[in-house]
Amino acid sequence: MPRTARDVVFVDGVRTPFGKAGATGLFAETRADDMVVSVLRELLRRNPALPPERIGEVAIAATTQTGDQGLTIGRSAAVLAGLPKSVPGYAIDRMCAGAMTAVTATAASIALGATDVALAGGVEHMGHHPMGSGVDPNPRFTADKLVDSSALVMGCTAENLHDRFPAITRERADAYALASQRKVAAAYAAGHIQPDLVPVAVRSAEHGWGLATRDEPPRPDTTLEALAGLKTPFRPHGRVTAGNSAGLNDGACGCVIAAEDVAAGLGLGARMRLADFAFAGVDPEVMGLGPIPATEAVLARNQLTMDDIGLIEINEAFAVQVLAFTDHFKIADDDPRVNPWGGAIALGHPLASSGVRLMIQLARQLAARPQVRYGLTTMCVGLGMGGTVLWENLNA
């Protein structure tokens, strides 16, 4: 029978605070799947009008799907969270765009009518699962020159971007990084970020139990002088440092996605409508360029230009990657549309979870800006990809 695609909306989103990966980080002794459980339970608590049995899918992304991030984490976390056993779930891996893909995959299912409501998100415990742990890249990648050897080290791909775009200097990248830190500090001071953070009980064998209520990575006292003094670990006399890159982090994010008519029928709030999305590939050794063709595809399909976009949440894997994007679209480094509350350089980037963090912040910002019709969430992805989601403001 003929089908008509249904409109899909972002109902609500929450995340854990982000921690620093490692033995002394917030979540060093907390399981990754328990972090997801905290997110799922909070989504249900905040949306009591959503009958758990109406949830048609739980899609959770993780880049490393072993240990406490394994066992088909979408299904296992749903069971652990107390959802009805009738609710199915699955795991996703698109590296950094895992949670973004969880949203777009479940949204496509909802648009088709196969599902009415879904929970989508991602988790990455980089303290338990360092980037690339357990990976065995096929030697043909480099032996057959399918990719440059630098493609397998994300920091090296960022140095390659600096080579390709000499106008993006280290000084400019450091200035962007400093601005991100300051914007996050201002957003915290204004109370913008806290409403969507889920307090998480954390355990330390040395200090006992505690409660994580705030992101651990931000460095509000950062200065340009301090950034200028940092080492360049990926290349002697390079330009990529720990200060102008996202850190290694632990965290989980999740959201409720629903058909717009179903959300209205259940009495759920709808914060923004998913208008379109695209994923694109680029040369893996310059993976940071991925958001450009993905965004171009979305804009072209919808007959829009960047002038039509009122807010842009772009994942700050590296400052140079963001600046390559803004330069391409002729956006100033300090354009107020771009990451108005700061980004991953300050907040952290727990790989597969970050796509939904972008959506959470965009939804809040759209609610405060009814004059803005369209917003973007966009990010680069390891091995040479990019993803972009176009959102329409329902407060306009």
Query: What are the structure tokens assigned to 81, written together?
Result: 């969270």
pTM comes to 0.97
Return the pLDDT at 396.
74
Amino acid 248: pLDDT: 97
* Side-chain-facing half-sphere of 244: CA atoms under 13 Å: 33
Distance CA 352, CA 184 (A): 21
Strand pairing report for 374-381 and 309-314 = parallel
List pLDDT tens digits, range 128-174.
Answer: 999 888 899 999 998 999 999 999 999 999 999 999 999 999 999 99
Q: What is the pLDDT of residue 205?
A: 85
Determine the average pLDDT of the residues in 114-137: 95
Residue 313, helix vs strand vs coil: strand
- On the question of pLDDT at 90 being above 90, the answer is yes
pLDDT band at 40, cuts 50/70/90? very high
Question: What span, in angstroms and rounded, lies between the C-alpha atoms of 246 and 30?
Answer: 22
- pLDDT at position 230 is 98
pLDDT band per the 50, 70, 90 thresholds, residue 306: very high
Read off the pLDDT of each residue in 353-377 and give the average, rounded to a whole number.
Answer: 98
Pairing mode, if any, of strands 89-92 and 117-125?
Answer: unpaired
Helices (H), the chain: 32-46, 73-80, 98-112, 140-143, 154-164, 170-189, 224-228, 260-266, 291-301, 319-328, 344-347, 354-368
**pLDDT computed for residue 3 by the predictor:** 74
> pLDDT per residue over 196-250, tens digit each?
999 999 988 888 899 999 999 999 999 999 999 999 999 999 999 999 999 999 9
Element (H, E) at 13: strand 8-15
User: What is residue 4's predicted lDDT score, i.e. its pLDDT?
Assistant: 82
CA 80 vs CA 34, 84, 155, 253, 291: distances in Å: 8, 10, 36, 16, 35
| pLDDT score of 1 more than 90 | no
Query: Cα–chain-centroid distance for residue 338?
Result: 15
> Identity (one letter) of the amino acid at 328?
H
Which residue segments constitute the domains of the chain, with CATH numbers given? Answer: 141-192+275-393 (3.40.47.10)
Which value, to the nearest 10 degrees, does the dihedral of the CA atoms of residues 23, 215, 391, 309 take? -110
Cα 247 from Cα 227, distance rounded (Å): 14
Look at residue 37 and tell me whether its pLDDT is greater than 90.
Answer: yes
| pLDDT at 255 > cutoff 90 | yes
Catalytically active residues are: 96, 349, 380
Tokens of 122: 């991602």
Single-letter amino acid, residue 233: P
Q: Determine the longest span between alpha carbons in the chain, in angstroms.
A: 65
Q: Which pair of structure tokens corresponds to residue 183?
A: 């914007």
Question: Which tens digits make up the pLDDT trace of 41-71?
Answer: 999 999 999 999 999 999 999 999 999 999 9
- pLDDT at residue 370 above 90? yes
